[in-house]
Amino acid sequence: MSPKKDSFHQVEPKYITTELEESGEIGEASYGRFHGFLVCSMVLCGEIVAVAGDYSDYYHRQYDDQTEEMVEFTDRNYRTFLMRPAPPIISMPKSLNADSRKHLERAFELFWADWASCANRLRIVTEYLLDQLAIPRIAAKGKRYLDLAARIELLKAARPGHDNLLNALRVVGNLGSHDGEVDFEVLLDCFEFLEEAMVELLDRRREKMDARAALLIQSRGKPALD
């Protein structure tokens, strides 16, 4: 992704201009809002991504020993709160169902706006992933709805070894809903956990690799004959 030429614009609100004037910082700093477009550099893509958020500029002057002149430069920072369509943070298996894919794409956008809401959206993806794996939402007896923890236990019985990853997504998603705050590094962990769970549960990568390894062991390292 690279900025689309001449598409980035910054606007300083009037009240900030007044504050800078009163503090004597006018000409030294600027704060406000920005918007612009990014363009995918892949030849066959060319996607246009809209971005917006807050900016901060700090203007500096210093003496350059080589040119023996004063030089000016700007320390510019952008804090993005909107990115649409958002670049994928993790890969999706081709076999991932439409509901999971839809909510995961929404999580990519929420990553830039609200970490707590993003974590909750990953929890929703987990629910739909279990749907794809035929883990029921309603108990066989009593017709009561199963919460996510109970459904993960059912998956554990059918496909052991993935419950820790999914329970982490459940716990952090609950935290996002109830506390409204999720740590940035924790959210990145959740994306990684979800990617690993999807790859293993849908693509069965480890199972397929183990099967290939077993064939090599059986053939004593020689290639299998067709």
The residue extents of the domains of the chain are 1-85, 86-226
- In this structure, of 33-37, 118-122, 142-146, 184-188, the range with the lowest mean pLDDT score is 142-146
At residue 166, φ and ψ (nearest 5 deg) are -70, -35
- Element housing 56 (H / E): strand 48-64
Residues with Cβ within 8 Å of 120's Cβ and at least 6 positions away in sequence, in order, are 173, 176, 177
CATH topology (fold) of 86-226 = Four Helix Bundle (Hemerythrin (Met), subunit A) (1.20.120)
- Element housing 100 (H / E): helix 98-110
Report pLDDT for 20. Answer: 93
Which pLDDT band, with edges at 50, 70 and 90, does 225 fall under? low
DSSP 59: E
Listed residue (163, 90, 153) closest to 122, CA to CA: 90
pLDDT at 60 over 80: yes
pLDDT at 45 over 80: yes
For tokens 């958002």, the residue is 86
Mean pLDDT confidence for 206-222: 76
pLDDT tens for each residue of 13-25: 999 999 999 998 8
pLDDT at 51 over 60: yes
Round to whole Å and give the CA distance between 164 and 81: 31
**% of the chain exceeding 90 in pLDDT:** 71
Mean pLDDT confidence for 146-161: 93
